[in-house]
Homo-oligomer: A and B are copies of this chain.
């Protein structure tokens, strides 16, 4: 089945056809595409005209084969079901789209195996670089990328190596902020509800929470650890709480908090009257929940954009690129669930 192009005869439109019709050599067309400044304005205009007429589109695979990498980057997200991460993805996609890069999206669903399979796939696709929100301490995946000289930026996870960029928010500070707030509001018996502690986010937020308690000289932190960080897991966690209601609950993310809130209200527990509740991430929907949720705000869209910029800088200027570990400070947003 031959391809047909508007305004021309059959056959694939390649750089050669363009060259012929414009009366130049293929090499010149290539220069118009990649280094326009090196081509005389007049020649360039003519070539560009022909490109438009023929509806020519460069074959990315060929370019990529020659150059050793293409105009795509990989984006590996921990949890595509969480608006925090999809907002981050949106930030990445927006920037990459502006810079005319494609984004290959992968979800690891918090599983090391999936992360590794996906990294392998990205390497096959000859991506220019990779953005990763890593599963636990997944040095393995990053090492593979390094072996292959594929630049990477860690997202929502601080790099320990100085030859690696990362963009994060201080989760220990966030956990501390949350619990300090609860203490200030008079809570003493506080429960931390979180996902697996192998996930850095959970571990750090809990560490921050403990720190706040220590600083205040108060008792210890009760904990309920569940498998996932979803509203459903929040329901489950809340069942455990009902036996012995605490003064306050600090959830490791808003999705958990929404689940907890739902069960508490269903059981007739007053929030914040009987139990105060605080979440994490400040996703847009937390604001709209039954009792507007106090939360710790992070700027996911911005994190995504900045990480994307760092990655492209490293890809396109490997010489002058300076690795950075950027860490934002989270912010407490007080709403009704703790007032």
Q: Which residues of A contact B (CB under 8 A)?
A: 1, 3-6, 55, 57-62, 64-65, 70-72, 75, 80-81, 83, 86-87, 89-90, 93-94, 97, 100, 102-107, 114, 117-118, 120-126, 144, 147-149, 231, 258, 261-262, 284-285, 287-292
Bound-state CA distance A225–B60 (Å) is 42
B65 touches A93 (CB 8 A): no
- Known contacts A62-B65, A125-B60; is A86 also within 8 Å of B93 by CB? no
B97 touches A90 (CB 8 A): no
- Known contacts A59-B65, A102-B122, A126-B59; is A288 also within 8 Å of B231 by CB? yes
- Known contacts A65-B65, A90-B80, A93-B80; is A284 also within 8 Å of B231 by CB? yes
B102 touches A147 (CB 8 A): no
Residue contacts A-B, CB under 8 angstroms, 18 given = A3-B147, A5-B147, A57-B120, A57-B148, A58-B124, A60-B125, A61-B125, A80-B89, A80-B90, A81-B87, A93-B105, A93-B107, A97-B106, A100-B121, A102-B104, A231-B284, A258-B285, A262-B287
Q: State the copy count for this chain.
A: 2
For A4, list chain B residues within 8 Å (CB).
147
- Known contacts A107-B94, A290-B290; is A59 also within 8 Å of B147 by CB? no
- Known contacts A1-B149, A90-B81, A104-B105; is A97 also within 8 Å of B72 by CB? no
- Known contacts A65-B61, A94-B107; is A102 also within 8 Å of B125 by CB? yes
Bound-state CA distance A139–B271 (Å) is 51
